[in-house]
Amino acid sequence: MQDKVLIPMKGEYAYLFKKLEDIGLEVCNYRLDKEISLDEQVNQLKQFKYIVTGGEIWPAELLEKIKGNLKMIVKYGTGVDNIDVDAARELGIAVSNTAGFNSFAVAELTVALILDVARGITRFDNIVKNNGWNSTKGFSLTGKIIGFLGFGSIAGEAAKRLSNFGVKMLAYDKFQNFEKAKQLGVEYVSYDELLDRADIISIHMPLIEETKGIINMTVFKKMKDSAYIINTSRGPIINELDLIEALKNKIIAGAALDVFEVEPLPLENELRQLENAVLTPHVAAATQEAGTAMLTGCVENIIAFEKGNPINIVNR
């Protein structure tokens, strides 16, 4: 009997699936039926040696029930906060990701959101579509200070794209790569200095216990009242209730968010009603090219694991 891989992707990636079939793995391309009982889901999941997953939640209780045949959960993306990686380690289940494979796409949306808050693209689109023609002045990026909270691959790609806009770029990161920063024209500064100086702050931190809710009212009050915050990383890094208050009371000028504490964003969430908030539905990595790159990374991770040379394991 062949070992099985669960990849809930369409047949357009058959050339990638063939790479797994060529090393003796059976690829199953279906999505689990959420309407069936938990016991039935567990019975389905227990048959797989590898599971490729996106944003599905993998708590310790579920991992305990499907352990045994399962050797690795492969994240189709970077953040593994939806997987109990410590529990997986205890159960002998490796967790891998595709960090860096979608950096270009997330960086592109980051820059797009920065341009949107600067020039009011979404706001003006709404005005015209509602039969208006009035306008207010935006601002040029030239001469502005962009601050990156976290300066990994995505922030680096964003910095490359912003370098031609005549901006000054600052970064705060516990793990500093001075050569990379110098090449991109980025200056490392302290956390408080970045909050104090930046006109636009873009968040690029992982969601861990240390960063959950770290962007709160204390942070907003340290920022310029003319500053904007951009988040294409993880929603819970920002305390949303504090953000709503900061936006309503003009403690900061605005925000552009691709991620939220609860997704999909609840209909009653006040962010939906605020004119100084630009919202997108967690689509930073949602390009055809990034999707292909991430799935390629997943396949590479599985092949390497099969050959005894595991790569991109995040819970060693």
Catalytic residue among 61, 263, 275, 289: 263
Quote the CA–CA distance of 7 and 18 in Å, as a whole number.
12
Quote the CA–CA distance of 25 and 19 in Å, as a whole number.
9
Report the greatest alpha carbon distance in the chain: 68
Catalytic residue among 108, 234, 261, 300: 234
Quote the CA–CA distance of 127 and 275 in Å, as a whole number.
11
Angle at 215 between CA 214 and CA 220, to 5 degrees: 140
Q: What are phi and psi of 206, to 5 degrees?
A: -75, 155
Quote the CA–CA distance of 226 and 198 in Å, as a whole number.
10
Query: Is 282 designated active site?
Result: yes
Do residues 5 and 26 make contact, with C-beta atoms less than 8 angstroms apart? yes
- Residues labelled as active-site residues: 234, 263, 282
